[in-house]
Amino acid sequence: MFVKRDLTNTVPTREGNMHFVKQGSGFPLVMLHPLGTSVWAWHTVIESLSQKYTCYAFDMLGHGDSDKPSRHFNMADYAQALDDACQVLNIHRGHYVGNSVGACLATEMAASFPERLDN
């Protein structure tokens, strides 16, 4: 089963709590879902990826079990919230993978917080 209760948690950001699933061990792999979905977008691959990486699949704010932002969010806002979460979770560097809008967010993270992404 993909989401075991002991693998899910929330992390505070300046805009609200962000829900995430953490699974595996190894170098951090941050997984970013498409618009309108949730961590469930990764359920078919997280098990195998977690054999090599510590996978962090986040419900972006306004999605899944994360808090809804109190204002309209743009990509820079989502990146700031994700950076907040990564700071709290001590994810200093990692690989970022995204699907659709999740890929746009990974690109925004690379532009805004290049120190967080591994080559």
Rounded to 5°, the CA angle 7-37-57 comes to: 30
pLDDT band at 6 (very low <50, low <70, confident <90, very high): low
Residue 32 banded pLDDT, cuts 50, 70, 90? very high
Which residues are bridge partners to 57 per DSSP?
21, 31
pLDDT of 8 reads: 81
- Mean pLDDT across the chain: 93
- Residue 1, pLDDT above cutoff 80: no
Least confident of 3-7, 25-29, 66-70: 3-7
Return the higher-pLDDT residue of 3 and 79. 79
CATH fold group of domain 5-116: Rossmann fold (3.40.50)
- First-residue to last-residue Cα distance in the chain: 31
- CB–CB of 18/77 below 8 Å? no
Please tell me the pTM assigned to this model: 0.92
Q: What is the pLDDT of residues 58-73, one digit of tens each?
A: 999 999 999 999 999 9
The pLDDT score that the predictor gives to residue 118 is 87
